[in-house]
Structures are given as structure tokens and as C-alpha cells.
Chain A
Amino acid sequence: MDEKMKAIYNAILEGDMESAVESVRVALDTGIAPGEILNNALISAMEKVGQLFEDGEYFVPEMLVAARAMKAGLEILKPSLVDSGVEPVGKVVVGTVKGDLHDIGKNLVAMMLEGAGFEIVDLGTDVTPNQFIGAIRDGAEVIGLSALLTTTMPAMRETIKAIEEAGMRDQIKIIIGGAPVTAEYAKQIGADGYAADASQAAILAKKLIA
């Protein structure tokens, strides 16, 4: 890896926001293509973060600081990506389902998806089925539903049912997650997949739109 790319990669792994911003600037200034910076520094660093999380080296705090550094670098890179016509790999809408206000899991998923090259629309917390349906109309390809509580889990089923009733089920992939949620539950309610953590959610979303 080029030294300048390596600097971005390391800054993200170490969660060093200032270095990430600075090293993205340097890479752009020396003429490295924005798409290459995105794919070979930012996305590959976040893949490594996901791997370290799976391996039990990184935990939520380390993932958060890495994602924060990645986002800061991405902000610098974004105008150049637009200018050079680099498109996101897909559009994902995330939110906690109706009744649920617990958002750390959903936020981590959004960060890891963004770090995997997706465009993210974060609808926030306590999101109604109609809001998700609106987001599908606006061009989302994947939606991610999150719930922490057994009392709000049923809203996942209701959201999927509402999407079916709106005649949109075939045009969207639906993934779910949250503490009480399981792969078995995903199957029961007709979701396309379940991810146990944010890193796996990014892998799953890529697989579903491939």
C-alpha cells in the first residue's frame, strides 16, 4: 500500500480523527483518485475494523472511534467523489422500529455500512412503518430494522407486513437485528436476513444486493 494510503488506513484503525482528515487531504493533493482513496483506504480500514471486532480485539468503543475517524475523512473526500462520479454501492435505510428509542446498535450498523461504501439514510428512532415505506419510495435498496426490547420486537413484523401490503416487498431487502432478535425470528417474520452485530450487518447487506 502507498505510504499516503497507509497513513489514512492507520489513522482510521487507531481512531485518530485529525490524522484521518489530514491524510485524506494529503492523498487528494498528491492526485490519488478519490475512488481509490475510498475503496483502498477508507473501506479497507473499516473492513479491518470489522475483522478486529469479530476477532475480539476491538469492542464497541474502539469501533466507535474508528468510525468517527472514517466519517471525518469521508467528509473531506465526498466532494471529490461526487466530482469524479463515484457512486455508493447501494442505499440503506436504518431505524429503530416503532416504540423503540434505543439507538446505539442501529448507529453502529449505520457507521459500519457507511464504512462499507453504502449511502445511509438514518431515520432515527421510533420509526413508523409508513416512514420506512416512504424511504423505499425514495430509492432505498435495503432497510435495517433494529429493536432492543421484547415489547417492541413485534413492530418488526408489523413493518414488514405494511411493506408487503404496500406492494413493495419485492423491491427491498430487509435485515433485522437487536439484542432479543435471532435468525430464527428473522425467518418467522419474513425478513431477508439477521445480523448479530454491526460488522456482520455490513457483510450481510453487501451479500444481499450483490
Chain B
Amino acid sequence: MKPRERVEMTLNHERPDRCPMQISFTPEFAERLRADMEIKGKQVHNPHGGGNTYELERALEEDLLLTSVGWANSYYMDDKPYTDEWGIGWTVHPYETLFGKGHYTEIASHPLADDAAISDYQAPDPHRPELYAASEQTIRDFKDEYWIVGVTVTTIFETAWALRGLEQMMLDMVTDPELANQLLDIPFKYHLTAAKKLVEMGVDMIWTGDDVGSQHKMMISPRMWRKYFKPRMATFISELKAINPAVKVAYHSDGNVLPIIPELIEIGLDVLNPIQPASMDPAEVKKQFGDRLSFWGTIDEQKTLPFGTARDVANEVHQRLETVGYDGGLILAPTHHVQLDTPLENFWAMVNTITNTPYEKL
């Protein structure tokens, strides 16, 4: 079965030969994996999929290939401090694990922290043809075989908080709705334009969303989500489906977003990502919403992958297949890019258990 057929079946709530798989990595984990698999890479790996050449993804037998246009590509742009084209300042911060040293790029300054800067701010232009060249090539080279995902995550809230500062953005949403709307519209318009273009070009799915959940509960109230994000997300989904009714839309939020799932379904969502198991029980989410929604993720990246054993990882994959994937509707993936602190045995336990477990043998 071709990878794209496998994904298409599962998103139609049918059971393919095996569960489809998607895995992204931090650049350092990708390097380690290349060495382990003796695969030469052409460039630094972008975990969101902008400009990737997919040697690793294809060798691992992943089923989805990601291609990203938008602010999320500002992560991991350099190994020294930089300012991205939105004017957001980044610092580079080292860390050390049992498996070597890495670095994270972290937001260090916000161009719209001062009110005075907001009215004159010019966002980057989402119509530049060069933004879409890599996606065009991905679609041309791989769409026959793979399920192509256009990535426009950090769609509204996350880019706005990078522009303004997270605390100030949240204060604005309480105390100055007009200003908050003005700020949120900047990334919303940009990413909507990008997503529409990607759908026109022929991607199979758009991956959108923002972190509105925290570890145990929502970060903002469902009421506030309804006020600022639901209407924009409804527009986003309906405009994409007006271009291609068959295109699927996946929404990302870390953490617990249980209270808004029914409304995400109501506005036309197809797939929810990443379902962090410490925040929302995947089996319970499947039970409540599995007839109307598919799930992408569910493999714990906070405990099992970095700190568990290979057996723990294999058990978790089996558990998900049995409790979530049994009738389709599941794409297995770690709930975040695989980090450098993950033992390779655990990584391979995840990959091999997914690829070697046909549904009919469950």
C-alpha cells in the first residue's frame, strides 16, 4: 500500500494495512539518526519541514511529508543570535544530554512590545513566489507516493505572542480586545494566505493551530478561545475547503484542549494533533470524538520516549493501536519533534513497532 493511500484510508475512518506514521526531529537528533542509518543529509534538518529533502523520513517509511511556509520556519534558522523577517529577535541556547550537546533557538525580543510600534508595523509579504518553491518541489517529487502536509502552524496566537510578548498578549486579550484583534490579525492573514496558496498548489492536508492548552488544563478559557480563535479558525477552515473540498485540516495545540474539541469539530476540523497523553487520555478522546475526528500524535515525548525503556515505548505504541487506531482515524507520531535526549533504542522501538504491526495481527 502506498503511504498516501494508508493516510487517506485512516482519515476516512477505515483501517489500512498498518497505522500511518509521521516523525519529526530536532536538527541534532536528525544528525544522530543520519549517522546511525548512514544516510548523508544535504542540509540542516528543519523539524517543521521547510526545505527538507526527506531522506530520513523516506528511509524510515514515514507516510506523511511536511512542507512549511510561515513564521514557524524561524525556529532553528541559525546557530548564532538572529532577527527573523518579522523583526522577532532570537537567541541560541545550548543544552547537554547523555547523547551529546544541542541548541534550542529561543525568542528573545518582541518587535511589538511597545504599543507605539503596532500601527506602523509591516508584516512580511506572504505572496512572494520564493516562499513556495520548496513546497512546489515536494509536491512535484513526492505527491504520487506520500501524503503531503502544508504546515502553517503557529497560525494566530503563537506568532502574535512572539511579536508582542506572551504575557502582554494575554493582558491585551483581557483588557484591550480591539488591540488584541489587531495583533492577532497580523499572523492570521499571513498564514491564511499561505495555507490557501498551498491548497491551490495541491497539498493533501493543512496543519494549522496554536498552543492554547497547558499541561493540565487550557491556558486560556474556552470563552476566550471562542472570542478570538474560533471565528478565525472557522474562516480558515472554510476558505481552504472552498478551494478544495477534499483537503483535510489538522489543528495543533499542546496540552489539554478537551473543552474545545466539540467546537473544533463543529467548524469542520478533520484531525487533532498531538494529543499529549499526560494531558488528555487518547483512549478517552477517541471514545468521545473518534467517530467525527481523527488523531495524529499520542506517543509521549515528555516521559516515555526520553526516559522510558524500549519496552515501554513498544507497549505504548501497541496500546494506542488497540485503543485509538483499531478502526482507523489514527496517525501515530511523537507528540513533539524527537529530542536529543531520546535513546536510539527507544526511537527504533517506536518506528519498528509501528511499521511491523499490521492491524490484522492486533
Contacts and interface: CB of A to CB of B under 8 A. Distances in A.
Are both chains from one complex? Answer: yes
Interface of A: 15, 56, 58-62, 64-65, 68, 99, 101-102, 104, 107, 126, 149-152, 179-180, 196-197
13 contacts: A59-B224, A61-B170, A64-B170, A64-B171, A65-B171, A68-B171, A99-B93, A101-B106, A149-B104, A149-B339, A152-B95, A179-B214, A196-B215
B303 interface: yes
Given A152-B95, A196-B215, A179 B302 contact: yes
Contacts of A65: 171, 174-175
B174 A15 contact: yes
Interface of B is mostly: mixed
In this complex, which of A61, A104, A107, A180 has the most chain B Cβ atoms within 10 angstroms of its Cβ? A61
Contacts of B94: 99
Nearest to B168: A64
Nearest to A57: B221
Given A61-B174, A62-B174, A68-B171, A56 B339 contact: no
The 6 closest A-B pairs by CB, nearest first: A61-B170, A180-B302, A59-B221, A179-B215, A151-B95, A150-B306
Contacts of B175: 15, 65
Contacts of B215: 179, 196
Given A59-B217, A59-B221, A64-B171, 6 more contacts: A58-B221, A61-B170, A62-B174, A99-B93, A101-B93, A151-B97
Contacts of B102: 151
A59 B171 contact: no
Contacts, number: 69
Contact of A150 (B167, B171, B224, B339): B339
Contacts of A56: 217
A64 B171 CA distance: 7
B173 interface: yes
A18 to B, nearest CB: 11
Given A60-B219, A99-B93, A151-B102, A104 B166 contact: yes
Interface in B209-231: 214-221, 224
B301 interface: yes
B14 to A, nearest CB: 35
A59 B218 contact: yes
Interface string B244-277: 0000000000010000000000000000000000
A29 B265 CA distance: 55
B215 to A, nearest CB: 4
A107 B167 CA distance: 10
Contact of A60 (B95, B97, B170): B170
A61 B173 contact: yes
A94 to B, nearest CB: 15
Contact of B303 (A101, A151, A180): A180
Contacts of B174: 15, 61-62, 64-65
A157 to B, nearest CB: 12
B217 to A, nearest CB: 7
Nearest to B221: A59
B289 interface: no
Contacts of A104: 166-167
B121 interface: no
B100 to A, nearest CB: 11
A33 B127 CA distance: 63
Interface in B92-140: 93-97, 102, 104, 106
B313 to A, nearest CB: 14
Nearest to A152: B95
Nearest to A184: B303
Contacts of A62: 174, 221
